[in-house]
Amino acid sequence: MLSDSLHKIRAIFRWANLKKLVRAPFRGGIQAAFIAWRERRREALPNDVTHTFEARSYPGSRTRRYLVHVPRGDAGRRPRSLVVVLHGCRQDNRDIEKITGFNELADRHGFLVAYPFVTSYRGMRNRNCWGWWFDREIHAGAGEVEDLWQIIEEIKLHYPVDPHRIHVCGLSSGAGMAVAMMVAHADKIASGAAVAGVPYAEKADAVRHELNPEPRNRPVVAIVSAMQDEMGAAARAVPIQIVHSKNDDRVDVKSAKVLRDSWGHCFGIDTRRAFRKYAGQEKGTRWEHSEYRNDGGKSVIETLFLQGPGHGWYGGNPGDFSFPDAPDIKRGLWKFFASHPLKQAVRDRP
């Protein structure tokens, strides 16, 4: 009996040792595979990631989706520029991603691109419009303009964003909301652009439609007053590039000129005479580029007026509201963004 018990005990120990011998390389292989997978994930981040922003407690916040494009071959965590691109009415974020072609530029120059989607909204508006004409949507701390800033803050938690190189641009209603972002968060947005857009705190009457054949803009002084009220102590002349077609049949080019002049009047920049102006023609489209500078000698306002076909994005990829056979505006926009970082320390608004 004792002998049998000793044999069983020895057998158990032999089996335990055998299992250790077998498990050791297996466990080591699993660990090595996991470490290798983790490193591969760190070295080759996904190029497009869809996120969901959950509604917050401040007034008008809504759950929204957004897409982040990570430049190909991104192997590190060094801080990168972030370009936020806002779609227009009757579009979503995939549409604006497709037609602008910003991803190609991001892969070449190594910056992040975010494409928020309005997702849901309230009030009378065309499908998927950003609400630039609703007062409740354009003030820091509430509505769409705050949701967009909080999306940027969320992106900063997951991606290596340089806080001094956050830029925002948009098309049509997205341009109107980009302008609102530049005013409501002037101390945090490095620079921005409006393509076929409108001034800050503009009214819906500025857009031409069946019931409004003659668009009307608010006076420059009224717009400047709204800008000053919103910025308060955080006032800063956010560098802006304004792109607009003189043949725009939806948002008249007058809106671009009012936007230019309100920016100039608000920040003491003379827009009656450009510091530099040059013109040309590309793919049959004539264009005129003007720069307006402050006392520091760097352009704060730039306009690109095109003699183009209508209301949309110029020089991008085929799609709705896109004119591929035209000058490629995204290259000029990125050049403008890259040369206008936020120099002062980023402050949190109260």
The model's pLDDT over 149-193, given as tens digits with 9 standing for 90+, comes to: 999 999 999 999 999 999 999 999 999 999 999 999 999 999 999
- In eight-state DSSP terms, residue 162 is E
Looking at residue 3, its pLDDT comes to 44
Q: Which residues pair with 171 in a beta bridge?
A: 195
Residue 298: pLDDT band with limits 50, 70, 90: confident
Q: Are the beta carbons of 119 and 63 closer than 8 angstroms?
A: yes
Query: What are the domain boundaries of the chain?
Result: 44-338
Query: What is the secondary structure of 198-232 as a DSSP string?
Result: --TT--GGGB-BTTBSS--PPPHHHHHHHHHHHHG
> Is 35 a residue whose pLDDT tops 70?
no
Q: Could you give the CA distance from residue 53 to residue 181 in angstroms, rounded to a whole number? A: 18
> Is 29 a residue whose pLDDT tops 60?
no
- pTM for this one? 0.85
> Is 279 a residue whose pLDDT tops 70?
yes
Convert the pLDDT of each residue in 263-272 to its tens digit.
Answer: 999 999 999 9
> Positive or negative, the Cα torsion across 72, 76, 81, 83?
positive
φ/ψ of residue 70, rounded to 5: -100, 130
Looking at residue 296, its pLDDT comes to 66
Convert the pLDDT of each residue in 205-258 to its tens digit.
Answer: 999 988 888 999 999 999 999 999 999 998 999 999 999 999 999 999 999 999
Residue 344: pLDDT band with limits 50, 70, 90: low
Residue 73: pLDDT band with limits 50, 70, 90: confident
Please give the class, per CATH, of domain 44-338.
Answer: alpha beta
Residue 20: pLDDT band with limits 50, 70, 90: very low
Report the 10 Å Cβ neighbour count for 39.
10
